[in-house]
Structure 1
Amino acid sequence: MEERVGSANDEHPDYLYPPPPPPDSADDTYIIQIPRDQIYRVPPPENAVIAQGYRKPVEQKSKGCRGRCKCICLCLIVTVALIVGIFLAKIYLFPSPKSPQFSIKKVLVKTPSSSSKNYSSPSYEISLKAENTNDKYKISYENGGGSKLSFKQHKIAEGKPPSFSQNENESNDVRVTLAGSKGTLPSEVAKSLNDTKAKTPVSLSLMINAPVKMKGLISTKDKDVTVTCDFKVNTLATGTKILSQECNSKL
């Protein structure tokens, strides 16, 4: 068996190239064979048109997605703006009502005559200043509720709160009349009532609970207001003066 010895030109074997024609051949046609890895193909123009047709739907889809994203973002912005606007309008037009403020101006003790069987149970007239501190609400104090005067949590008189109305930021002077409770008065209260010379001070507590209507721009709220005033007077006899007081109210 013969072995073929390679040469330096084995990279391009001779059998790939046809032998050149004889010198005296009349045929001027030559065949040149190029290795396959050196052939470069250029696609025809119609292929570029087809490829462009495939790319257009992708581009249109991308544009459609961007349009939807813009619409979604715009809807979110409008929704958030509406929510914030409604919230601010509610705060401005329908704020939470504030409790009215009260303070005691005067205390008058009416002691029955000595011939009366209820000599130990005087009545009281307490004048107060009521202030509506609301800018957006009128207050209407309705009939009902109750008021009581106490000494160290011992009730000594009771009555009904007055009914009246207040506009926004309006102040009024009101009066609460309390009838003396039946029974024996606490010794400190009795001493202050009878001691006209020494003027024995005494500390009392007034509590008022009244139904109210808070009338806003287009709404009305039914609530109960509770007022508590702890105060001290120089005497319950003639010439009663208020020495100190602290009033709190709550809706």
Structure 2
Amino acid sequence: MEGPRLPPSATATATTPESDDDKPDDPPSVWHRPTSSLPSLPSQDPPSQHWRNHSLNLSPLPTTTPSPLLHPDSIPELETYVVQVPRDQVYWTPPPENAKYIEKRSNNPEKNKKKGCSKRLMWFFIILVVFGFILGAITLILHLAFKPTLPVFAVEGVTVKPSTFEVTMRADNPTSNMGVRYVMKKNGVVSLTYKNKSLGTGKFPGLSQAASGSDKVNVKLNGSTKNAVVQPRGSKQPLAMMLTMELKAEYEAGPIKRNKEVSVSCDVKVKGLLDGKKVEIVSENCESEFKN
């Protein structure tokens, strides 16, 4: 195996003795090492970023141009944090639109206050409308459930006395869930007429009836038969009379009350009125009407 090569001067010295012709004043030969054989110098590039195993570096990455290579002792040690996140949890950040919305609301307190007032007024109006609707529905139900029905009257007999008439009537209350009380209307009268001529006038006595009740009532009228002398005595022709009444009906069912004005008119045909004997009722028909 060959040893390392020596420079030419060394080889010549080792093999050939120095001749007399060589002059001592000649400069010694110089040997140069090739440049390619020199060791490479360390690179001046900055050290690359690295991460520690099983760790999370929370420090922000540098955004500026890295500084020149510094001495190892002058480089500060970076702090690292280890964060363990369970796999079954998902973390998310709200979108940036939420931050803009909050900032916009915080910048306009007066507008937000006005919106709050308008919302309260709107809810108050809605509650008022709902309450009115419920109250109207209850009123309608009560009106339909407790609706008075027209009373029914009938003339059952007429008795003639020297200065009075006594009319016997039957009153029926068809309202099944409300009682009623009949009283005379203010300035009202009960009138008995013959061909628009008054035979007698009087007052209707107070009468109270239960729901679906039926009662008799006697009405006394002050008057005489002098205005009915147009027919001769002993005539068998029936005498047509008109009985009219203006009453006030007060219906009641617990706390529910209804006041009605009732107008009653009865067409009555009788025989024997002028003889002063027993009066016979040939026909009768009474009609009732609510005035309000």
TM-score, normalised by the number of residues in structure 1: 0.56
Are 1:93 and 1:217, in contact at CA under 8 Å, matched by a contact in 2?
A: no
Are 1:97 and 1:214, in contact at CA under 8 Å, matched by a contact in 2?
A: no
What is the CA–CA distance in structure 1 between the aligned matches of 2:260 and 2:97, rounded to whole Å? 76
Which residue is equivalent to 1:217?
A: 254
What is the CA–CA distance in structure 2 between the aligned matches of 1:245 and 1:143, rounded to whole Å? 21
Are 1:148 and 1:207, in contact at CA under 8 Å, matched by a contact in 2?
A: yes
Equivalent residue letter for 2:148: K
| Deviation (angstroms), 1:162 | 1.8
Are 1:102 and 1:128, in contact at CA under 8 Å, matched by a contact in 2?
A: no
Q: Secondary structure at the match of 1:241?
A: strand
Which residue is equivalent to 2:229?
A: 187
Summarize deviations over 1:152-203 as a string: whole Å, max 9, x none: 221101222121211223222222222324x832334x54xx32xx521121
Match of 1:102 among 127, 152, 159: 152
Match of 1:124 among 136, 150, 165: 165
Matched, 1:54 2:100: yes
Which residue is equivalent to 1:34?
A: none
What is the CA–CA distance in structure 1 between the aligned matches of 2:209 and 2:122, rounded to whole Å? 48
- 1:92/1:200 Cα in 2 relative to 1: closer, same or farther (>3 Å)? same
Match of 1:85 among 112, 134, 143: 134
| Deviation (angstroms), 1:227 | 1.9
Are 1:149 and 1:205, in contact at CA under 8 Å, matched by a contact in 2?
A: yes
Which residue is equivalent to 2:238?
A: 201
Summarize deviations over 1:41-89 as a string: whole Å, max 9, x none: xxx9xxxx9887435556999xxxx999998877665443322221122
Match of 2:201 among 149, 158, 165: 158
Which residue is equivalent to 1:35?
A: none
Matched, 1:139 2:190: no
What is the CA–CA distance in structure 1 between the aligned matches of 2:226 and 2:105, rounded to whole Å? 98
Sequence identity percentage? 19
Equivalent residue letter for 1:233: V
Which residue is equivalent to 1:15?
A: none
| Deviation (angstroms), 1:223 | 5.4
Structure 1 residue runs of 5 or longer lacking an equivalent are 1-43, 113-117
Structure 2 residue runs of 5 or longer lacking an equivalent are 1-62, 64-94, 109-114
| Deviation (angstroms), 1:137 | 3.5
Structure with the greater relative contact order (CA < 8 A, sep ≥ 6): 1 or 2? 1
Are 2:158 and 2:165, in contact at CA under 8 Å, matched by a contact in 1?
A: yes
What is the CA–CA distance in structure 2 between the aligned matches of 1:52 and 1:225, rounded to whole Å? 72
Q: Secondary structure at the match of 1:175?
A: strand
- 1:146/1:241 Cα in 2 relative to 1: closer, same or farther (>3 Å)? same
What is the aligned residue count? 189
TM-score, normalised by the number of residues in structure 2: 0.49
What is the CA–CA distance in structure 2 between the aligned matches of 1:238 and 1:150, rounded to whole Å? 19
